[in-house]
Amino acid sequence: MNECYYDKRMDFFYNRTKTDTADEWTGAQLIGVLCFGTFFCLFIFISNSLVIAAVVKNKRFHFPFYYLLANLAAADFFAGIAYVFLMFNTGPVSKTLTVNRWFLRQGLLDTSLTASLVNLLVIAVERHMSIMRMKIHSNLTKKRVTFLIISIWAIAIFMGAVPTLGWNCLCDITVCSSLAPIYSRSYLVFWSVLNLVVFFIMVVVYIRIYMYVQRKTNVLSSHTSGSISRRRTPVKLMKTVMTVLGAFVVCWTPGLVVLLLDGLNCTDCGIQNVKRWFLLLALLNSVMNPIIYSYKDDEMWATMKRMICCSSEDKSQDRRSSRIPSTVLCRTTDTSGHYIEDGIIQGTICGKGDLGDKGNS
């Protein structure tokens, strides 16, 4: 019967894997990493809070897609908390941690990754349901969206707790990994392959949706005389989503590949030399998302800017929300969503009615 090592500190496991954490995070290098991490964590907290507040405040964002987008911002906010906890429990401190504290440190990171990944997968399904039915927004009710959000976090918390629940190497230290000294190599293979497969599935789904919308828009464009910006509104929305997904895949894939190589016990791959840089790359993803939201959607940026400037004047709100390039469509009394054909042919983009009135006056 194998002996279990629940009462050992992490130095026991790090010494077994010959991981010298003290040499990697000392002096100016450690100070630089902590300053870099602190700055970006503060940006993550502030910017993602603004995204969530913008969705809550602006009624033009009260659609399932934007609720899920706000939940993705909440996952990034949670990732910031995980990175802060990691910063104060890494480097030389790592060897002094108890097993439970180390599990908590890694569990927070795994939970944040899973929350973002599952949220993107749900957004992919929501986009597929709506776009393939020729709608900009799906028919999901608030209750269903709430259930989906709760399910996303339930799955994320469970996946983050899987090693703590038993899939670890505390009772069989011969199968311990190098990057995660108390994780089983088999778990790292499972974790990395699962995430990479989900990445691939989502990329394929979004490419299919984008090609469908592009084809449909081109067909309808030949029968309409509306402006180019109006005809391309569905495409702009898909570009925003695909940009977010692309940034997520680019930032997380290198780290997952390194985990996979560690799980496969690749001793000559030099994974110890690159692990911290790939972790910082993953941190950068949570920084990029709010920038993508505001850059791709003028309405989102205008709402965030109003909140930053503490301005709530109705006239200013009307002026800024009437800018044409926004990906947000005007709400109508039809709660079932907006049809792409209607949005293209009838020009149901925000502010078109006002322009028409001005033209008639």
Using alpha carbons, select from 123, 75, 62, 74 the residue that is nearest to residue 337. Answer: 62
What is the arithmetic mean of pLDDT over 239-268? 84
Q: Which CATH number fits domain 10-221+234-309: 3.40.50.300, 2.60.120.260, 1.20.1070.10, 1.10.490.130?
A: 1.20.1070.10
Mean pLDDT check: name the lowest of 36-45, 73-82, 105-114.
Answer: 36-45
**Rg, Å, the chain Cα set:** 24
Residue 347 has pLDDT above 70, yes or no: no
User: Domain-by-domain residue ranges, the chain?
Assistant: 10-221+234-309
From residue 215, how far is each of 219, 222, 223, 235, 329 by CA, in Å?
6, 11, 13, 10, 20
d(CA 318, CA 73): 26
Q: What is the pLDDT of residue 270?
A: 73
Residue 322 has pLDDT above 50, yes or no: no
Q: What is the pLDDT of residue 125?
A: 84
Q: pLDDT tier at 304 (50, 70, 90 boundaries)?
A: confident
Give the type of residue at 14: Y
Residue 282 has pLDDT above 90, yes or no: no
Higher pLDDT, 85 or 131: 85
Residue 339 has pLDDT above 50, yes or no: no
Q: What is the pLDDT of residue 224?
A: 56
Give the type of residue at 258: V
From residue 22, how far is each of 15, 91, 93 by CA, in Å?
12, 6, 8
Mean pLDDT check: name the lowest of 59-68, 141-150, 246-255, 341-350.
Answer: 341-350
pLDDT, tens digit, 9 for 90 and up, residues 179-209: 888 999 999 999 999 999 998 888 888 788 7
For residue 212 the two structure tokens come to 């469908």
Q: How confident is the prediction for the chain on average, in pLDDT?
A: 76
Q: What is the pLDDT of residue 141?
A: 80
Q: pLDDT tier at 335 (50, 70, 90 boundaries)?
A: very low
Q: pLDDT tier at 102 (50, 70, 90 boundaries)?
A: very high
Q: pLDDT tier at 20 (50, 70, 90 boundaries)?
A: low
For residue 163 the two structure tokens come to 């090693």
Q: What is the pLDDT of residue 231?
A: 47
| 340: CB partners within 8 A, 6+ apart | 131, 134, 135, 136, 213, 216, 217, 220, 234
Mean pLDDT check: name the lowest of 82-91, 149-158, 231-240.
Answer: 231-240
pLDDT, tens digit, 9 for 90 and up, residues 217-238: 677 666 554 444 444 555 566 6
What is the arithmetic mean of pLDDT over 36-51? 88
Q: pLDDT tier at 255 (50, 70, 90 boundaries)?
A: confident
